[in-house]
Amino acid sequence: MTRLPYATYDVFTDTPFAGNPLAVVFDADGLSDARMQTIAREFNLSETIFVRAAEYAQHAASVRIFTPTKELPFAGHPTIGCAIALAERNRNGDNARDLLLVLEERVGPVRCGVKLAADGASFAEFTAPKLSQQAGADPSLEVAAKALGLSASDIGFDKHVPSLFSAGVPFAMVPVASLDALGRAQLVDAKSSLTLGATEVFVYTRAEPNAAHSFRARMFAPEIGIVEDPATGGAAAAFAGVLARFEPLGEGWTTLPILQGVEMGRPSLIGLEVNIEKGVLAGARIAGKAVKISEGLLFV
């Protein structure tokens, strides 16, 4: 029997038992795809990330990301949590320092910056490995409303209409007109997302006045074993394309943080920076904190 070390982190928060829980399994080179999927189902978190030896010596690790039902080529909260977990695991004594590392994900290499905390939550930021692009035709307001149990008047605000975008994983992006509509939104059934063109559905609206964040959001993906997700960094990366299309962003970098998970009792703050050059999306960065909750051994 093999013993594999693991740790769990709450990601996109500096507060234990908030944010999005993540399991990080180290030294996972000997695990088959089927075994990793079984372990992810056992943890039953939105994602579990498996750390393996890097293909290239200059990189920190090769990683595989699984939901309870499938593998993902890329996801944001596992990237943030894993970067912090590796940096904390390999820190030299009690010294906290900034460092850069690269994770080899199925989507490609992901460059991460980590600022280690001497105690408590550390911070990480990564550059989106792929620019967000439209991933299909826009769903209609009526289809979006029906899928989420809302009325057509609840869908959309300003220039925002339902759309499909992907920065590695496709998301149906559904704008709603108010925080009230955001609170009432719920997929009618597990298959409703498919009517929108993706298994993951990101519902968003503008933040309340004078908030420290720009948008509020929820994410539903029951088709892949996630009834609702407290924080979705991959959706934030895809959301950069939505913002480039619908928002009057100026040239250069704009910071547009997203608050997610409030309705679940797990508030999560996702840092999002969007870069516009000559009127088009040229880059995106995702950032957040993570705090370790547990560590132990898996017997596999």
Average of per-residue pLDDT values in the chain: 96
- Taking residues 179-193, what's their average pLDDT? 94
> Is residue 121 located within the same domain as residue 78?
yes
Residue-level pLDDT at 258: 98
Residue-level pLDDT at 91: 83
Tally of structural domains, the chain: 2
The SS3 of residue 284 is: strand
CA distance linking residue 164 with residue 186, whole number of Å? 18
Residue-level pLDDT at 94: 61
Residue 293 token pair: 């909750």
Closest CA to 188 of 154, 146, 228, 230: 146
- Taking residues 266-283, what's their average pLDDT? 97
CA distance linking residue 260 with residue 216, whole number of Å? 6
Q: Please name the residue that has the structure tokens 């979705």.
A: 232
> Is residue 82 located within the same domain as residue 27?
yes
**Does residue 205 have a pLDDT over 80?**
yes
Q: Please name the residue that has the structure tokens 């960094």.
A: 233
Answer whether 76's CB lies under 8 Å from 233's CB: yes
Q: What percent of the chain has pLDDT over 90?
A: 93
> Is residue 74 located within the same domain as residue 211?
no
Residue 138 phi, psi (nearest 5): -65, 130
Domain encompassing residue 46 = 3-128+288-299
DSSP state of 9: E
> Is residue 161 located within the same domain as residue 259?
yes
CATH code, 104: 3.10.310.10
> Is residue 166 located within the same domain as residue 263?
yes
**Do the strands 268-277 and 280-299 form a parallel or antiparallel pair, or are they unpaired?**
antiparallel
CB atoms < 10 A from the CB of 142, how many?
Answer: 12
Answer whether 22's CB lies under 8 Å from 230's CB: no
Residue 151 phi, psi (nearest 5): -95, 160
Residue-level pLDDT at 120: 87
Amino acid of residue 163: S
CA distance linking residue 188 with residue 144, whole number of Å? 11
pLDDT digits (tens, 9 = 90+) for 24-51: 999 999 999 999 999 999 999 999 999 9
> Is residue 227 located within the same domain as residue 109?
no
> Is residue 162 located within the same domain as residue 116?
no
- Taking residues 237-258, what's their average pLDDT? 98
Residue-level pLDDT at 17: 97
Residue-level pLDDT at 119: 85
- Taking residues 113-134, what's their average pLDDT? 95
**Does residue 179 have a pLDDT over 70?**
yes
The SS3 of residue 299 is: strand
> Is residue 138 located within the same domain as residue 268?
yes
Answer whether 100's CB lies under 8 Å from 116's CB: no
Which residues form the catalytic set? Answer: 47
pLDDT digits (tens, 9 = 90+) for 85-114: 999 998 876 666 789 999 999 999 999 999
CA distance linking residue 168 with residue 129, whole number of Å? 8
> Is residue 180 located within the same domain as residue 208?
yes
- Taking residues 173-189, what's their average pLDDT? 97
> Is residue 190 located within the same domain as residue 257?
yes
> Is residue 121 located within the same domain as residue 244?
no
CA distance linking residue 131 with residue 151, whole number of Å? 32
DSSP letters along 236-255, please?
A: HHHHHHHHHHHS---SEEEE
> Is residue 255 located within the same domain as residue 276?
yes
Q: Compute the chain's Rg from CA coordinates.
A: 18
